[in-house]
Structure 1
Amino acid sequence: MGQLRTSPPPPQAAELEQWVLSTAEELRELRASLRDALTGHGLVQGEDLDEVPHLVVLVATELATNALRHGRPPTIVTLLATDDCFLLDVADHDLGTVPGLGDIHPLDSGGRGLMLAESVSLAVGWYATDVTKNIWASFPR
């Protein structure tokens, strides 16, 4: 099982929006609200990055699902931005585990969130605070 690199997101990132989730039923609202937040912050206005909102929403859904399933609630999803990228930060309150890139088998129903994030984002990492374990992914802005 591979390990995700330990690295906080860039400190100059500004928080744009935040969602707090306690149940999987809240994922639908997260997806809609996150897409609105991305378009509202100038991503799609005349830009040729049409797939970026879809990829950010997809990765947010996967990472939040993992956090809800394997972490300790609540799950906190934060959208941040720097001048040239969006950052997605997903936190849960389980400090006892380290995010890993598990061995994924084709017929498994889960466990692909981190692998997906690594394959479609610019960078992925994780860090812990005193109360949360955070996984982040960056995307072009």
Structure 2
Amino acid sequence: MSALRSSAPHPAAVELRCWTLDSFGELRTLRAALREAIETHTDEVDDLFDKMAVVATELATNALRHGLPPTEVRLLREDDHLILDVADHDMGTLPELDQGRPLGAGGLGLQLTKTFAIDVGWYRTSSTKNVWASFPG
């Protein structure tokens, strides 16, 4: 396993939308609302949405499963980038890439995130651990 790169959040990013999730059942609503938000803020919808929906679902699932709910998913914009920022309340666990796990064994959320996003990182606030992923938008 290797740790995900720790980096400060995007200081000039503006929050476009925010969703609070308490359960896995809310992931479907998150994806629908994310599509609507992306349609509002960019012309490149289909391919971008597909990538962002996978990443949002994976990061939120990780946060709900391994973190302490509620999970907060924020959609941000900074210049020509859209950023997903997913927070949980488990301050003791670091986000790690499991590079040796075989396909189909689960635990590939951060690997998929690194594949689909142009940049990925994480940071802590006084009460949350956040993983973020940036996309051209």
Which TM-score band (shorter chain)?
over 0.9
CA RMSD of aligned residues (A): 1.0
**1:104 alignment counterpart:** 101
Q: Secondary structure of 1:54's match?
A: helix
Instruction: Specify every segment of 5 or more residues in structure 1 that has no aligned partner in the other structure, as ranges.
Output: none
Which residue matches 2:126?
130
Structure 2 stretches lacking a partner, 5+ long: none
Q: 1:10 is paired with a residue of what secondary structure?
A: coil
Q: How does 1:1-141 map to 2 (within 5 A)?
A: 1-41=1-41, 43-44=42-43, 47=44, 50-102=46-98, 103-108=100-105, 110-141=106-137
Number of aligned positions between the proteins = 136
Tell me how far 1:54 sits from its aligned partner. 1.2
CA–CA separation in structure 2 for the residues paired with 1:124 and 1:91 = 14
CA deviation vs aligned residue, 1:59-101 (integer Å, no higher than 9, x gap): 0001000110110010000000011100000000000100000
The ranges of structure 1 where at least 4 consecutive aligned residues each deviate by more than 4 angstroms after the TM superposition are none
1:9–1:87 Cα contact (<8 Å) kept: no
TM superposition score normalised by structure 1: 0.93
Identity fraction in percent = 54
Q: What is the TM-score with the length of structure 2 in the denominator? A: 0.95
